[in-house]
Amino acid sequence: MKYVSCLVVGILLLSATAVLAGSGERQTRQNLFELEPIYTRNARNVQRITVNLTYDNFRNVALEEANEFDGYTAKAEIIVPFGEEKKWEVRFDYPFKTDGDAKVIATGESVDIDGPTGVYDFATLVLQRELSRVEKCLVNSSIYFGGGMRPARLNTSLEDEVYNHTGRVARLGFNIDNARGDRNIRLQTSLDGRYYFDSDDINPSDNGTEFFLMNLSGAAVYNAKGFIKPAFEVLYSTDFNDRQIIQAVPQLIVPLWDRLEIKAGYAFGHSDGEGSTQTGTIRTTFSF
As beta bridge partners, residue 277 has 269
State yes or no: pLDDT of 162 exceeds 50: yes
In this predicted structure, which of 5-9, 126-130, 154-158, 186-190 has the lowest mean pLDDT?
A: 5-9
pLDDT at 2 over 90: no
Average of per-residue pLDDT across 99-121: 93
| Residue/partner pairs of 270-274 with CB below 8 Å, 24 or more apart | 270/245, 270/246, 271/60, 271/62, 271/243, 271/244, 271/245, 272/242, 272/243, 272/244, 272/245, 273/62, 273/242, 273/244, 274/60, 274/62, 274/67, 274/245
Q: Which amino acid, 268?
A: F
CATH number for 2-287 (one of 3.40.50.1860, 3.90.550.10, 1.10.3720.10, 2.40.160.40): it is 2.40.160.40
Q: Looking at residues 266-282, what average pLDDT do you find?
A: 88
Asked if pLDDT for residue 26 goes beyond 90, the answer is: no
Residue 18 has a pLDDT of 45
Going by pLDDT thresholds of 50, 70 and 90, the confidence category of residue 276 is confident
pLDDT at 273: 63
Helix (H, G, I), strand (E, B) or coil at 36: coil
Res 212 pLDDT > 60: yes
Cα–Cα distance for residue pair 215/210, rounded to 1 Å: 17
- CA distances to 34, 65, 203 from 173, rounded to whole Å, are 19, 29, 21
Task: Name the more confident of 6 and 85.
Answer: 85
**Does position 11 have pLDDT exceeding 50, yes or no?**
no
Per-residue model confidence (pLDDT) at position 206:
82
d(CA 53, CA 264): 12
140, 177 in Cβ contact below 8 A? yes
pLDDT interval class at 65 (50, 70, 90):
confident
Q: What is the largest CA-CA distance in the chain?
A: 62
Tell me the chain's radius of gyration from C-alpha atoms: 20
Share the mean pLDDT of the chain.
90
Domain residue limits, the chain: 2-287
Q: What is the pLDDT of residues 213-245, one digit of tens each?
A: 999 999 999 999 888 999 999 999 999 988 899
User: What's the pLDDT tens digit per position in 68-92?
Assistant: 999 999 999 999 999 999 999 999 9
